[in-house]
Amino acid sequence: MRSSYGLSLLVALLLAGCPRGNGDTTPQPEVEPPAAAPVLLGGTLILPTGDPMEVQVTLQPREGGDWDGSLFYLIKQDLVVPLDELVYDDSTFRCTAVAPGQSEEARATFEASLAGDPPWAGTLTQAGHSAEFMLVPMPARPQTPQPPFPYAARDLDFDSPDGTHLACTLTVPEGPGPHPAVILLTGSGLQNRDYALFWHKSWVVVADAFARRGLATLRCDDRAVGGSTGDPNTTTMQDMAQDAAAGAEALAAQPDIDPDRIGALGHSQGATVAALAAGRSIRIRFVVHLAGMGLPGAEILVIQEGLIFAAAGVPAEPIAALQEVHRRLHALLLDPAADPAALRDAARAVVAGQFAIAADHLGAPAHEVTDAELDHAIAVWQAPSTMDLIRFDPVPALRDVRVPFLALNGTRDLQVPCDQDLEAVEQILLEAGNPDVTIQALEGLNHAFQPAVTGNIDEYEQIATTFDPAALELIIDWIRAHTGLVD
């Protein structure tokens, strides 16, 4: 439990007695695993402070129409709370619950009306206090781990050298250790430690699979997300690499982690951060580079735009024209002496070109670019984090990596061009003299490493698989081989 979530007395009572901090991994009473597919509801408690707390409710039908149920907190997955006096039907969700080890005075009541379309609003009442909560039906995510968990999880927070506080979860396999460990690094955008998108929780799935095969993982809230501090508007990839290196040091200080078998696994931008961190930290002894950059950032953005439009059925000619003006805009953004009027004209040409393609080929209405839209687009392009990506050259970062390196990408990735990028990564590493490089394109997988039909971003939510199991096993086998674990 982390104080930065602003937990109120209400929820503190409900969670009283659960493991805290860095050391206590006392096992909690477990709920029997279901015999058949359960009903899954995603819940968000709205605390009196205004802070949200996510829970998952698992409902299992019994003979006769009754239900068994449990919930667990997504920030504290080793605490499973059985649901009592459970009523679940077309119109009502109601139950009581008391966390293991608590007295009856701490029992909470949940009640929500399921009339109408989700999300459904409800109330949690406990010890004279109340809070709102919301429920929604969760789409099928069969890989999301369900309790009981055959491993331990605990908070492990640390500070980066610039004073930024990183709030993280360390998942540790069964057994005395010390265990190999992997730092998991998310892609661009503000991501929590679960890497949660479209009800997929990629890093939860990865941490679960790794722990079951003897590998510990550390996954952190990004800067300014959840329990972590920092300013996302000024954060660069070098800052993120600094955080990852600090995370490796925090891992090395744990008694159940082997300080000589720590690696970094990153996805998309996180893969580039993993390479940067490996170049600056002697603690990072291997890198797993998933859909990371082998081409310059500015060129990746232009190619990405073309791949996405082409997959949507846009002809090659308007795509090429748009890419040309986009390259001109990038050149102006990178030129400190660029004329502001010329930069604004180039930005308008890019935004107008995108609107024109949408209208001419994708069924969107015609649209004239407004000054407000243009101002916003320029502000996004000129933000430090975007400029960091546009000016990024992966060559120096990859040349500095002297540890074993696994680079993977999916052939249906529309955000990082699979073949071009993997070829560039391999060439840079081999020319720099890295003796242990494994490169592989994974047939049919998209940018999120899901089995995909087109690779379009709108498929991510529709696909039930969170992370392709074969790809996951390939990664685990490679890490185990490089950390001395044998089956």
Residue 146 inside a domain? The answer is: no
Note whether 327 and 251 are same-domain residues.
no
Residue 145 inside a domain? The answer is: no
Q: Are 232 and 222 in contact (CB under 8 A)?
A: yes
Note whether 216 and 279 are same-domain residues.
yes
Q: Are 183 and 218 in contact (CB under 8 A)?
A: yes
Global pTM reads: 0.77
CA-CA distance, 408 to 448, in Å (whole number)? 11
- Of the candidates 390, 415, 433, which is a domain's last residue? 390
Note whether 181 and 198 are same-domain residues.
yes
Q: Which two tokens stand for residue 192?
A: 């929590």
Q: How many domains does the chain have?
A: 3
Q: Is the peptide bond before 178 cis (omega within 30 degrees of 0)?
A: yes
Note whether 396 and 273 are same-domain residues.
yes
Distance of CA 400 to the CA centre of its chain: 26
Note whether 344 and 288 are same-domain residues.
no
Note whether 183 and 276 are same-domain residues.
yes
Q: Among 124, 158, 149, 145, which residue's Cα sits nearest to residue 21? A: 158
Q: Are 387 and 238 in contact (CB under 8 A)?
A: no
Residue 143 inside a domain? The answer is: no
- Of the candidates 367, 390, 413, which is a domain's last residue? 390
pLDDT per residue of the chain (487 residues) written in tens, 0 to 9: 222 222 222 333 333 333 323 333 333 333 333 344 568 787 777 766 666 777 778 888 877 778 888 887 655 544 678 889 999 988 899 999 887 777 788 888 999 999 888 888 888 888 777 888 888 887 778 898 988 899 999 999 999 999 999 999 999 999 988 999 999 999 988 888 999 888 789 999 999 999 999 999 999 999 988 899 999 888 999 999 999 999 999 999 999 999 999 999 999 999 999 999 999 999 999 999 999 999 999 999 999 999 999 998 999 999 999 999 999 999 999 999 999 999 999 999 999 999 999 999 999 899 999 999 999 899 989 988 889 999 999 999 999 999 999 999 999 999 999 999 999 999 999 999 999 999 999 999 999 999 999 998 888 888 999 999 999 999 999 999 999 997 7
Q: How many residues are recorded in the chain?
A: 487
Residue 202 inside a domain? The answer is: yes
Note whether 247 and 306 are same-domain residues.
no
Residue 67 inside a domain? The answer is: yes
| Domain coverage including residue 68 | 3-137
Listed in sequence order, the residues at least 6 apart from 164 whose beta carbon sits closer than 8 Å to its beta carbon are: 223, 228, 229, 230, 239, 243
- The CATH number linked to 230 is 3.40.50.1820
CA-CA distance, 293 to 270, in Å (whole number)? 10
- The CATH number linked to 42 is 2.40.128
Note whether 372 and 418 are same-domain residues.
no
Residue 292 inside a domain? The answer is: yes
Note whether 412 and 282 are same-domain residues.
yes
Residue 415 inside a domain? The answer is: yes
Residue 142 inside a domain? The answer is: no
3-state secondary structure the chain: CCHHHCCCHHHHHHHCCCCCCCCCCCCCCCCCCCCCCCEEEEEEEECCCCCEEEEEEEEEECCCCCEEEEEEECCEEEEEEEEEEEEECCCEEEEEECCCCCCHHHCEEEEEECCCCCCEEEEEEECCEEEEEEEEECCCCCCCCCCCCCEEEEECCEECCCCCEECEEEEEECCCCCEEEEEEECCCCCCCCCCEECCEEHHHHHHHHHHHCCCEEEEECCCCCCCCCCCCCCCCHHHHHHHHHHHHHHHHCCCCEEEEEEEEEEECHHHHHHHHHHHHCCCEEEEEEECCCCCCHHHHHHHHHHHHHHHCCCCHHHHHHHHHHHHHHHHHHCCCCCCHHHHHHHHHHHHHHHHHHHHHHCCCCCCCCCHHHHHHHHHHHHCHHHHHHHCCCHHHHHHCCCCCEEEEEECCCCCCCHHHHHHHHHHHHHHCCCCCEEEEEECCECCCCCECCCCCHHHCCCCCCCCCHHHHHHHHHHHHHHCCCCC
- Of the candidates 137, 169, 203, which is a domain's last residue? 137
Note whether 308 and 292 are same-domain residues.
no
For residue 137, the model assigns a pLDDT of 83
Note whether 131 and 280 are same-domain residues.
no
Note whether 163 and 261 are same-domain residues.
yes
